[in-house]
Structure 1
Amino acid sequence: MPRPPGEQLAGPRLCVFCGLPGTGKSTLAAGLARHLGAAYLRVDAIRDGLFQSELRLGDAKDGTYCAARSLAAENLALGRPVVADAVHWTAALRHPWTDVAARARAQLLWIETLCSDPAIRQARIEARAQSGRKSWRKVGALGMDPVEHADIRIETCGMPPEESLAALIRALPDSAEPGTGLG
């Protein structure tokens, strides 16, 4: 939702990553959080923590996204920029972030990661599946709703992670804008 002309942001920037597994999303989100000194909220880590608890959760997807948004709101209220890292498969999972940003008067920046070569995505997923993450067989054929309003789209195929991160940082809107939390 665009801000009215001339409205100043009072809070820091909220950078929300989305993209299919194996597109470089977590690598770039963690790198951007380090670069910005931002809180880094990774939905996979929240889910892993919930599954390690004694709760019987079944499908914890909704709860992990809710927890990430609550943590984001707390950090934004403290004046900290936030980087949120999740697939965000559906528009319904993405939409509530607009409310988080609006309540904090933060600028919401959507960052979509892409990898147009399925073989590269598959190799990335298979490499990390050895450490207990989901295999290509489980996530390779999954799709996601189109991300219609991405502020930044970054193609990660054919670029080393550090070059992708440098390209992402260059693509960020003017970091000198007051209240963005960047700079």
Structure 2
Amino acid sequence: MLIILGGLPATGKTTVARALARRTGAVHLRVDTIEQALRDSGELPAPLGPVGYAVAHALAEEHLRQGLTVIAESVNPLTVTRDAWRAVALRAGVPYLEAETVCSDPAEHRRRTETRTVDVPGLALPDWTAVTTRPYEPWDRDHLVLDTAHRTVEDCTADLLAALP
């Protein structure tokens, strides 16, 4: 199956995705990692646009066709990006779960944004202004919402596991 995990930066996407991958043995695809590798190649001018997502879609579909579960983690900010992930699952003929991480406590979200450390060499993390002003469309369909504010990674992962078919 394809687990589509989106949400603003510093809401806990990567932390939850990694925990879920460890628990399930799923493949974790992180668009930030893919995009940084593309930038590091020196072959593509910034900004990358949809290139990182296109690579992630192709990798996810290949893994899904091999019978693997994939956790696709990205900000996934627009309806068009969400539709594209869903299309990957449909092409591969697998079920999917859409989930959004949120941090409902603005002070906690800001603290996380301002205290994060870079775990992908060369990746520039957005500051609080960039997080709060970036384009991010509200979700227009049913999906699992994981509020990570003041909750453990284990609790959030359990919520995701409980939602899986």
Same fold (TM over 0.5): yes
1:26 aligned onto 2:18:
no
Distance 1:124 1:150, change over 3 A: farther
Deviates more, 1:56-65 or 1:46-55: 56-65
Distance 1:48 1:172, change over 3 A: same
The AA in structure 2 aligned to 1:118 is P
Query: Corresponding residue for 2:147?
Result: 155
Distance 1:130 1:106, change over 3 A: closer
Helix, strand or coil at the partner of 1:95: helix
1:138 aligned onto 2:130:
yes
Distance in 1 (CA, whole Å) between partners of 2:133 and 2:159 is 28
Matches within 5 A, 1:12-161: 13-128=1-116, 132-161=124-153
Distance 1:44 1:118, change over 3 A: same
Report if the CA contact (8 A) 1:39-1:80 is conserved: yes
Segments of 5+ residues of structure 1 without an aligned counterpart are 1-12, 174-183
Distance in 1 (CA, whole Å) between partners of 2:118 and 2:2 is 32
Structure with the larger helix share: 2
Distance in 2 (CA, whole Å) between partners of 1:150 and 1:34 is 26
1:119 CA drift (Å): 1.0
1:61 CA drift (Å): 3.3
The AA in structure 1 aligned to 2:100 is E
The AA in structure 2 aligned to 1:152 is L
Structure showing greater Rg: 1
Helix, strand or coil at the partner of 2:8: coil
Aligned length in residues: 161
1:99 CA drift (Å): 1.8
Helix, strand or coil at the partner of 2:38: helix
Distance 1:170 1:71, change over 3 A: same
Segments of 5+ residues of structure 2 without an aligned counterpart are none
The AA in structure 2 aligned to 1:62 is P
Percent identity of the aligned residues?
36
1:138 CA drift (Å): 2.3
1:130 CA drift (Å): 6.5
RMSD: 1.7
Distance in 2 (CA, whole Å) between partners of 1:45 and 1:130 is 11
The AA in structure 1 aligned to 2:160 is L
Q: After superposition, what is the alpha-carbon deviation per residue over 1:110-131, rounded to whole angstroms, capped at 9, x for unaligned? A: 0111111111111111111577
Q: Please give the TM-score of this superposition, normalised by the length of structure 2.
A: 0.89
